Amino acid sequence: MTQTQMAHTPAPAQPDPQTRPVLLQVQGLKVAYGGIQAVKGVDLQVREGELVTLIGSNGAGKTTTMKAITGGLAMNDGDIQYLGRSIRGQGAWDLVRRGLVMVPEGRGVFARMTITENLLMGAYTRTDKAGIAADVERMFGIFPRLRERRDQLAGTMSGGEQQMLAMARALMSQPKVLLLDEPSMGLSPIMVDKIFEVVRDVYQLGVTIVLVEQNASRALAIADRGYVMESGLISMSGAGRELLEDPRVRAAYLGE
């Protein structure tokens, strides 16, 4: 092909995000515990290859929604469809095996195990030893700090390093959808920058991500789409950048 031909060759058309298959569909989700209706009828969807964020204040029901999606809490009403099938009543173990994986708030690393041992625990549903070993090395490539500390006990790491480990451990299970619950909570500004950089890198690898974050500006800046949750309900939704510029969102969550 000549340079002239190359110059006039149109760039390949990018697929319309709306044509991508829906991996996760939440319909009318209601969750109550302790006599409190924490989630009052949530509807949301996540398409393949998207980064979708769920923002809202403390007590809005974000974490409860995530736990219900991943089998950590029973729903009172509604349905959750994953890969086109209802997963209502399924346990977290089965969902991890099917590729629906959450990194919980608080990280939950195995403190008395090394970084490498933690990563191997993330692959507990797998039997491909060669693939597991290759993925451990891949995680060290994505998270260089973990390679430097591969034999260190996880409980002796900083909060930011533990968050990286929790994310790497979840990726070891080869998730189709990765749910991240408040990954930047309690971290220093420098480490918050690093965590959001890692989230963006993982997304660019093609992993579909659902991100719950109180840092609304950072989350919306990298998200394809966002949902705003208030008092157990979705109050707004739209493209991440559009919500970031919405005066109601800016007043409620960005202090403007």
The secondary structure of 141-196, three-state, reads: HHCHHHHHCCCCEHHHCCHHHHHHHHHHHHHCCCCCEEEEECCCCCCCHHHHHHHH
Q: Is residue 12 situated within a structural domain?
A: no
Residue 223 in domain? yes
Is 5's pLDDT higher than 50? Answer: no
pLDDT mean over 37-62: 95
Q: Is residue 6 in a domain?
A: no
Report residue 255's pLDDT band, with 50, 70 and 90 as the boundaries: low
| Count of structural domains, the chain | 1
Q: Which residue from 227, 131, 226 is spatially nearest to 171, judged by alpha carbons?
A: 131
Structural domain boundaries, residue 166? 22-253
Q: How many CB atoms lie under 10 A from the CB of residue 201?
A: 12
Residue 210 has pLDDT above 60, yes or no: yes
Which amino acid, residue 117?
E
Tokens of 58: 């403390």
Residue 126 class from Cβ within 10 Å (0-12 exposed, 13-18 middle, 19+ buried)? middle
Give the confidence band of 16 by pLDDT, cuts at 50, 70, 90. low
Residue 2 lies in a domain: no
Judge whether 107 lies within some domain.
yes
* Residue 108: count of CB within 10 angstroms of its CB: 12
pLDDT band at residue 17 under the 50/70/90 scheme: low
Taking Cα atoms as reference points, which of 46, 91, 14, 69 lies closest to residue 237? 46
The lowest-confidence range among 1-10, 120-129, 205-214 is: 1-10
Question: Between 232 and 4, whose confidence is greater?
Answer: 232
Residue 226 lies in a domain: yes
72-109 confidence digits (pLDDT tens): 999 999 999 999 999 998 988 899 999 999 998 877 89
Task: Identify whether 224 is part of a domain.
Answer: yes
List b or e across 30-40, with b for residues whose CB sees 16 or more CB atoms inside 10 angstroms.
Answer: bbbeeeeebbb
| Confidence label for 256 from pLDDT (cuts 50, 70 and 90) | low
At 15, the pLDDT band (50, 70, 90 cuts) reads low
The β-bridge relationship of strands 22-33 and 51-55 is unpaired
In the predicted model, what is the mean pLDDT of residues 121-127?
93
Q: How far apart are CA 147 and CA 136, in angstroms?
A: 9
- Distant-in-sequence, close-in-space partners of 216: CB < 8 Å, separation ≥ 6: 55, 249, 253, 254
pLDDT at 93: 87
Can you give the CATH number for the domain in which 143 is found?
Answer: 3.40.50.300
Is 5 inside a domain boundary?
A: no
- 9 has a pLDDT exceeding 90: no
Asked if pLDDT for residue 240 goes beyond 70, the answer is yes
Q: Mean pLDDT, to the nearest integer, of 142-154?
A: 94
Mean pLDDT of the region 159-171: 94
Give the DSSP letter string of 58-117.
TTSSHHHHHHHHTTSS--SEEEEEETTEE-TT--HHHHHHTTEEEE-TT----TTSBHHH
Q: How deeply is 15 buried, as exposed, middle or buried, from its count of CB atoms within 10 A (0-12, 13-18, 19+)?
A: exposed
Contacts of 79 (CB under 8 A, 6+ apart): 26, 27, 28, 29, 86, 88
